[in-house]
Structure 1
Amino acid sequence: MRGTIDLLLVLLLGVGFVALPVLALLPSLWGFVAAAAVTYAADEVLHVRAPAFVRRLAALHLDRTMRFAVRTVMLLALASRMDAPGVVLVTALAVLSGHFALMMLYTAVHHAVRRRRVLPLVVRNLDLGELPIPRQPPALLYRRHLRKLLHLDLPAHAGLLAALVAGTWEPAWAGLALTAALTVAAVLAVLGQYRRTRQMPARDEVFAAVNRQLERYRPEVALYFSFAAVSRDFMYQVDMWIETLERLDLRPVIILREGASFRHLSRTWIPVVCVPKADDLAELELSGVRVVLYPGNAGKNVHMLRVAEAKHVFIGHGDSDKFASSNRVSKVYDEIWVAGRAGRDRYQRVRHAISDSAIVEVGRPQLSPIRLHAEHVPGPLPVVLYAPTWEGWSDDDCHTSLIPMGVTLVERLLAENVRIVYKPHPLTGRRSAEAAAADKAIRELLRADNERRDPAAAEAAVAAARPRLREIQARLDELTGRHGGDDAEQVREARVPDRAGAAEWQDLHAEWHRIFWESRGAVRHHVILRQLPHLYECFNQADILISDVSSVVADFVASLKPYVLTNAHDLPDDEFRAAYTTAGGAYLLDRACDRLPEILDSVRAPRTDPMAAARRTLKEYVLGPDRPTSMERFNSAANALAAKGEAERAEAATEARQEVPATAPQRT
């Protein structure tokens, strides 16, 4: 329940269903009409506002079908109590029973259609037009079918109630006939769709078509990702590498293992193959792949690591001081690519597990959009970006400042008259109710303060910009290459993209961000929860960052702007800096935030910024040198490892040809 309105709707739903049998047995016609209308309306609104609550009703055997059945039985009881003719009652019972029976048949056929349309894989940016995949059934028949079918009883209910009010039975006959006709028509329509699904290609045909396309494209490097089964919140781990992959000399391909990954992947011209099952992954023609890149450590990585012909590289999804950034599991990879010397030193934590020779410093190619401190133009108020990390998978890995000091920090910032851009981690509140509560409290503080800062003018500007922002967002969604419909429809519509779309994508992104920031004014606070505006665009708006131990800090170091690390446990400064590399150029903020005014002076009076020199030194240590560029280093590392793998393959093939059998057959 999200609030008072939801609780009121639940109360109305419960009271309405309790009242139905009472009003039917009294009988009270108009009372029954009111109660039935309330249950219908409350049911529909709760499906939109509180779907989790509605799903839990099924655990009590009060699912939607049961609720509709109860209304039907109570209506027949009301009609009986009001002395409706027997023929009307029998016909109504027959029609409504038939309606529920045909609804079961429809559901069975619908499930059969869905099963037949399941393919072993889904692709993007590969042309599989040769496969005979029929179009997905119309949304009217296919989506939320149970909800629509159940509502086909409305004509019968309305006709019977109208007949009871008028005292004449023509409305009842009309309503029952309409319900019967609509239900039969729906079943016939879905049966027609079932016949079309018999054209679906077999599993072997699908793999043959995909492998023909892969052989034609000849991928040389693969990005392999498994972990986004929960939601799109994990997809930043892949999206951050897309532009880098597109700029490699080697031909890239992206291999995903969960449907959620595929649905939420950003725009790219790179061929994408989503293969949920390990056995199906082995069917793909990837013999030309020389290097496999892994942005995350996940259990399903073993399904790709078993490919001995390729070189396997852990590239991660950020460079931070968390233990996850120096996991001994990384030993299974041939190489580990880190941003700078700090990443190499970090793996000393797992000494004897990770060989120093396996670590390659490649920089962070993603950071090119971040503007330097010298290029930043300050606004009328200092802009503070507060970007706390999430609570982690366990308390041992919990670095978030939200729980111990987040609310206090924001209250103190508001007292300092600054502009706050609040961007919590996408997974905030997933594990900890305390973190979720702190996040909610911070949003409320910022909302209330915005109300004080001339809300009328700001809201007018936001409203004026909204249509264009939506238009741009719609076009960006088109450029991603995603199509509507189920997975089979995605494969049916997949085509080799026009790479020129990348320029339009970049231009639209730039325009979206320009309009967004201009429309928000220079004094209002912002809560950033969606993919846009991008984190790095928030960096460019900020004068200073306040964050926790996370990869956000390491990336922000590229800007050379002042930044703050939260020291929620009030460790001695020397001890904290010794424990966390990125603290070397940071201001440290105590739990009570007493140091905050002093720290903000580094923004208000830049000449009093004592950490500026330390940040310059730290930048090279954490992210590597500016020359050669990160992209050049990353590309060189990929080329070198691919060449090494190819040389090892050639050597192994030569040895195999020269090998002489230990025993030769004797001549007689």
Structure 2
Amino acid sequence: MTIRRLCGALRVRGVTDLLLVLLLAGGFAALPVFALLPSLSGFVAASAVTYVADEVLHSRAPGFVRRLATLQLTRPLRFAVRTVMLLALASRADAPEAVLVTALAVFSVHFAAMMLYTALHHAVRRRRVLPLGVRNLDMSELPIPKQPPAFLYRRFLRKLLHLDLPAHAGLLAALATGGWSLAYTGFAVTVAVPVLGVLALLLQYRRVRRMPVRDEVFAEVNRRLADYRPQVALYFSFAAVSRDFMYQVNMWIETLEQLDMRPVIILRERASFRHLSRTWLPVVCVPKADDLAELELSGVRVVLYPGNAGKNVHMLRVAEAKHVFIGHGDSDKLASSNRVSKVYDEIWVAGRAGRDRYQRVRHAISDSAIVEVGRPQLAPIRLHAEHTPGPLPVVLYAPTWEGWSDDDCHTSLIPMGVPLIEKLLQENVRVIYKPHPLTGKRSAEAAEADRAIRELLRADNEQRGAAEAEAAVAAAKPRLKEIQERLDELAGRLGGDDAEQLREARLPDRAAAAEWQELRAEWHRIFWETRGPVRHNVILKSLPTLYDCFNQADILISDVSSVVADFVAGLKPYVLTNAHDLPDEEFRAAYTTAGGAYLLDRDCTRLTGILDSVRAPHTDPMAPARRTLKEYVLGPDHPSSMERFNAAANALAAKSEAERLEAETELAA
């Protein structure tokens, strides 16, 4: 427990990283000792330890490196300490005065060049910040200079700092051999290379002075949008955006691509732009509200919102369009029946359950504003009748996160997650653990439970003798990585900064959609085949997808969330956690999706009986309830969800256009 707390305080992941931290601290503590003794061999060893440990920690424990920076122990300071200790060692070892003076001058020039390079780099980067980002529009006519070469531009401080190595190595070799020419050779390299780097970056600075101004950028983007003539927009903003939130947009992309109208995606944070999935739709990222008003969106008749965020008001002020809240999942959480939704013209829900949920918010949402459109995203989910069981029952545990507040905290991780996994492991099942992407963002207890569950599954994999599966997993990694890189390329995740991505933006090749689907299918096939039939799996990344995990599972254990509503589409048995041990009737009355669920108490005493529904399907008493619940929650199978969603979009756009023409007629009269 002490080690775990120490790892938490230092922001490191485990014992290995903690050992590296101790080596780094011990190395720096030893430097002045060996410098003053003096001990050349001891100093060389301590210096090497600090170099290596520092470098490895930057990759393995970035949280610890950031913690050092908050204590003003920045990387340049650590390099400066090493240099001062080296000069102290040289002085104590009676190095010639000329060598000492030269060394002091060299290191001073090195740090001065580093400061100048940093200033130039910031100047170049500021000039390359454009007011917006674009994907899938041809921006080739904008005169944007190429990004400086990676060796000059990326991780420049790391490279510059390590240029002290020639001088360090030369001086240490000279102290060992007495050949002072070695020291001067190292000094020359340490001075020459940074100076050449500064000169090279000065040339790059001259080029970026010709960057297009704001008005030029907007004029070109608006010209391209005018050629495309968007009619419907998906608008997304999230204050703390990261890749963890982008599922809210990515889940709607394929649906948008099948609309009769021409869609455009509008994002507000640059980070979300980088984590967007593949699409041929035009995408515009506009961070500033004033800049958003500059976009030519006069033809947009419908705006779709997958999330409630403060920046939504910047788009809601567009009176010519109709505004629709579509959400990012249909669940019994407060977010799926929020009074804030009253600001939208319509609210699109999956089925009758969504309508009833909003009607419980008395006098807030008009029934006429609610439209049932189904869930078009659920097409990839296979039905229970199409599922082929494996040698062990597969249990998908997909808990929700802790929410933004305790009022919206439905996660089972904190009160019962670890005991649940322990009991599942006693039942001889195979576990797929897929926590919510935001797990642990607010609650340290949730993060700790998440870590404990991963460790339990790892340890049980070892006991099961999963060495053969681990070898297959390792053998498949190169091919999976190759596929992932190609998927990133097809998704438009180009290298370079925002200006470089805008410079390279082109009209997409729609034929790439087929390759995208084939590669994703191959990735999933390889992933599951190499995992074997008994190995537990922890799923933390976007691949494999949640719906592919649905298709692998025999049964789901989850909390009150949209995951449950989506899982209902396959008609497989599922379990809702009743962490507060409410009476069954009260729990089912409070949460719609509990209507077809097995309820699991906090102590998991019902778990064995529930799993019998998987081991012997004829003993599954909740099957009829699931069939009834599916239509209530997700709507009828015919017409399809896609047809209903498309019809709702067309109808609202026609209404918006009719109101616009009526307003123009009245104004003319």
TM-score bucket of the superposed structures, by smaller chain: over 0.9
Partner of residue 665, structure 1: none
The CA distance in 1 between the partners of 2:581 and 2:147, in whole Å, is: 59
The CA distance in 1 between the partners of 2:475 and 2:120, in whole Å, is: 47
Determine whether 1:508 maps to 2:513.
no
Partner of residue 193, structure 1: 204
Q: CA deviation at 1:168?
A: 2.3
Q: CA deviation at 1:468?
A: 2.2
Report Cα offsets for 1:87-141 as digits up to 9, x if no partner.
Answer: 2222211111111111111000000000000000000000100011111111111
Task: Give the counterpart letter for 2:406 in structure 1.
Answer: D
Q: Which of 640, 645, 650 is matched with 2:661 structurally?
A: 650
Determine whether 1:586 maps to 2:597.
yes
- Which of 244-253 and 423-432 deviates more? 423-432
Equivalent position SS for 1:336: strand
Report Cα offsets for 1:471-493 as digits up to 9, x if no partner.
Answer: 22121111101200100011011
Report Cα offsets for 1:544-568 as digits up to 9, x if no partner.
Answer: 1111000000001111111111111
Contact 2:578 2:602 in 1 (8 A): yes
Q: Which of 232, 237, 247 is matched with 1:226 structurally?
A: 237
Q: Which of 17, 22, 34 is matched with 2:28 structurally?
A: 17
Partner of residue 27, structure 1: 38
Task: Give the counterpart letter for 1:493 in structure 2.
Answer: E
- Which of 15-24 and 373-382 deviates more? 15-24
1:272-283 pair list within 5 angstroms: 272-283=283-294
Partner of residue 484, structure 1: 495
TM-score by length of 2: 0.97
Partner of residue 3, structure 2: none
The CA distance in 2 between the partners of 1:472 and 1:24, in whole Å, is: 51
1:364-443 pair list within 5 angstroms: 364-443=375-454
Partner of residue 18, structure 2: 7
Contact 2:249 2:306 in 1 (8 A): yes
- Which of 623-632 and 460-469 deviates more? 460-469
Contact 2:414 2:446 in 1 (8 A): yes
- Which of 612-621 and 42-51 deviates more? 42-51
Determine whether 1:102 maps to 2:124.
no
Q: CA deviation at 1:74?
A: 1.9
Task: Give the counterpart letter for 2:77 in structure 1.
Answer: M
Q: CA deviation at 1:328?
A: 0.3
Task: Give the counterpart letter for 1:232 in structure 2.
Answer: R
Q: Which of 348, 366, 371 is matched with 1:355 structurally?
A: 366
Q: CA deviation at 1:228?
A: 6.5
Q: CA deviation at 1:623?
A: 0.5
Report Cα offsets for 1:2-46 as digits up to 9, x if no partner.
Answer: 222222222222222222223222222222222222222221122
The CA distance in 1 between the partners of 2:256 and 2:215, in whole Å, is: 30
The CA distance in 1 between the partners of 2:652 and 2:412, in whole Å, is: 40
Task: Give the counterpart letter for 2:511 in structure 1.
Answer: A
- Which of 607-616 and 237-246 deviates more? 607-616
Contact 1:163 1:169 in 2 (8 A): yes
Contact 2:304 2:324 in 1 (8 A): yes
Determine whether 1:630 maps to 2:641.
yes
Determine whether 1:549 maps to 2:549.
no
Partner of residue 174, structure 2: 163
Determine whether 1:114 maps to 2:125.
yes
The CA distance in 2 between the partners of 1:438 and 1:176, in whole Å, is: 53
Q: CA deviation at 1:457?
A: 2.2
The CA distance in 2 between the partners of 1:259 and 1:624, in whole Å, is: 36
Contact 1:228 1:261 in 2 (8 A): no
The CA distance in 2 between the partners of 1:417 and 1:15, in whole Å, is: 46
Report Cα offsets for 1:200-236 as digits up to 9, x if no partner.
Answer: 1111110001000000000000000001644201000
Report Cα offsets for 1:44-86 as digits up to 9, x if no partner.
Answer: 1221222222222223222111111122122222222222222
Report Cα offsets for 1:317-369 as digits up to 9, x if no partner.
Answer: 00000011100000000000000000000012321111111000000000011
Partner of residue 352, structure 2: 341
Task: Give the counterpart letter for 1:547 in structure 2.
Answer: S
The CA distance in 1 between the partners of 2:44 and 2:530, in whole Å, is: 49
* Runs of 4 or more above 6 Å deviation: none
1:293-312 pair list within 5 angstroms: 293-312=304-323
The CA distance in 1 between the partners of 2:33 and 2:469, in whole Å, is: 53
Task: Give the counterpart letter for 2:552 in structure 1.
Answer: Q
Equivalent position SS for 2:608: helix
Determine whether 1:497 maps to 2:508.
yes
- Which of 126-135 and 17-26 deviates more? 17-26
Partner of residue 69, structure 1: 80
Determine whether 1:288 maps to 2:299.
yes
The CA distance in 1 between the partners of 2:655 and 2:278, in whole Å, is: 31
Partner of residue 251, structure 2: 240
Report Cα offsets for 1:597-627 as digits up to 9, x if no partner.
Answer: 1111211111111111111111111001111
Task: Give the counterpart letter for 2:598 in structure 1.
Answer: Y
Contact 1:229 1:260 in 2 (8 A): no
Contact 1:228 1:235 in 2 (8 A): no
Equivalent position SS for 2:226: helix
Q: Which of 274, 277, 281 is matched with 1:266 structurally?
A: 277
Partner of residue 639, structure 1: 650
- Which of 97-106 and 19-28 deviates more? 19-28
- Which of 509-518 and 366-375 deviates more? 509-518
Contact 2:133 2:502 in 1 (8 A): yes
Cα distance change of structure 1 residues 60 and 448 upon mapping to structure 2, 3 Å threshold: closer
1:558-597 pair list within 5 angstroms: 558-597=569-608
The CA distance in 1 between the partners of 2:381 and 2:257, in whole Å, is: 19
The CA distance in 1 between the partners of 2:189 and 2:616, in whole Å, is: 77
Equivalent position SS for 1:84: coil
Identical-pair percentage: 83
Q: CA deviation at 1:452?
A: 2.3
Equivalent position SS for 2:304: strand
Contact 2:251 2:328 in 1 (8 A): yes
Determine whether 1:142 maps to 2:172.
no
Task: Give the counterpart letter for 1:53 in structure 2.
Answer: F
Contact 1:257 1:275 in 2 (8 A): yes
The CA distance in 1 between the partners of 2:479 and 2:311, in whole Å, is: 41
Partner of residue 268, structure 2: 257
TM-score by length of 1: 0.97
Cα distance change of structure 1 residues 460 and 30 upon mapping to structure 2, 3 Å threshold: closer
- Which of 589-598 and 7-16 deviates more? 7-16
The CA distance in 2 between the partners of 1:599 and 1:23, in whole Å, is: 66
The CA distance in 2 between the partners of 1:55 and 1:469, in whole Å, is: 31
Equivalent position SS for 1:127: coil
Equivalent position SS for 1:135: coil
Q: Which of 26, 37, 54 is matched with 1:43 structurally?
A: 54
Aligned-residue CA RMSD in angstroms?
Answer: 1.2
Q: Which of 93, 103, 109 is matched with 1:92 structurally?
A: 103
- Which of 402-411 and 553-562 deviates more? 402-411
Report Cα offsets for 1:292-341 as digits up to 9, x if no partner.
Answer: 00000000000000000100000000000001110000000000000000
Q: Which of 533, 536, 547 is matched with 1:522 structurally?
A: 533
Structure 1 stretches lacking a partner, 5+ long: 659-668
- Which of 222-231 and 333-342 deviates more? 222-231
Contact 1:228 1:260 in 2 (8 A): no
Contact 1:364 1:630 in 2 (8 A): yes
Equivalent position SS for 1:556: helix
The CA distance in 1 between the partners of 2:211 and 2:610, in whole Å, is: 64
The CA distance in 2 between the partners of 1:411 and 1:9, in whole Å, is: 32
Determine whether 1:328 maps to 2:328.
no
Structure 2 stretches lacking a partner, 5+ long: 1-11
Equivalent position SS for 1:399: coil
The CA distance in 2 between the partners of 1:27 and 1:528, in whole Å, is: 53
The CA distance in 2 between the partners of 1:457 and 1:53, in whole Å, is: 35
Q: CA deviation at 1:279?
A: 0.5
The CA distance in 1 between the partners of 2:470 and 2:617, in whole Å, is: 33
